[in-house]
Amino acid sequence: MKLNAFEGFLLVVGAAVLGGDFAQGAKNKFRLHDSPTFIGGVQPRHLEDPKLLSECAPNKEPETGVPAEFDGREAWKHCPSLWEIRDQGHCLSCWAVAIASTLTDRYCIHSNGTSNFRFSDQDLLGCGSKYTGWTSEICTGRGHRRLCAPFPLSGCQGGSIGAAWKYLTNSSLGLVSGGWYKSDYGCVSYKYPPCDHTKESCYKVGKVPKPECRRKCLTKYNGTYPLDKRAVTSACKFTYPADSNDTVYNNFVKKVQLEIMQKGPIIGAMRLYDSFQKFNPHDENELYKPSGDEKGDFFHAVKIIGWGIGHQNGTELPYWLVSNSFNYYWGNRGFFKIFRGKDVHVSAEINKHLSAGMPEVV
């Protein structure tokens, strides 16, 4: 049975986390809804633990209110990183790439464009994977012992966004700078080569080299590893309201929008459905909206940079403007729009898994 690119991506996710038995079984008969629970590149349920992250608290709403549309690329034209699309390659590093990319944007924004420090996703992948900040109290207290052991941040085998934020805020070291694959920019560049995420060859099942914690800058870089570090001072999450009341939901959305407007892009984890394999939006007006009855046990981390109102079959559809990590040739130059309606099942549950962090600008 020949797998398409998206199925190949899911196959790599399963093989990386569960091993060869899953990979062989998937090759024999790959069906998304047969996939075991919790084998994605992201572990979003860790965000639910209040002991890990506090609630995000944006500043007071301005008198002008929240606009119907907002694009961070236009709001912060002095920050070119908002236009950059990273490439995670065949590594399940979306969690690290999204975090590093978000921190890069916020560093530039809060330095008023005077600094374009590019946070290294590789530094988080390699050194963060040794983090064991989970305690038995947290794991058993939430009933997720299986999800906590042994390493929430396991590099190319996926990672926990909540644990990653905890690692960064607990560590006085933070992250160093770093560029693309084989780039001479920064202290520690990305280790994994880019690939065409529209082709199955990008997700060949095989052993992915384990990320190394390289506490040494590239030879050509004019700087040292300890001095290049930039700290992350805080991190927070957004708790999706259990109340289905429209007013409660609208207030939740406004809170998220204020955070983006005032502080910069945030992280979202979306559930991967079969329909996403057919979604490759070259037209900026295309919008991803799952049917609502699909099944999927995989999650993918992305960066949310804005919002707006789209139209589909004569109907207005609110959306989040998203930056992906599949390089520029995927989607609309690497970006896409995803429905942000109240029904989590037709928005790929992205509203349930939102978080953000703030770097210390020096």
Catalytic residues: 94, 300, 324
CA–CA separation, 18 and 6 (whole Å): 18
Q: How far apart are CA 322 and CA 347, in angstroms?
A: 13
Distance CA 280, CA 295 (A): 20
Angle between helices 161-170 and 94-110 (to 10 degrees): 50
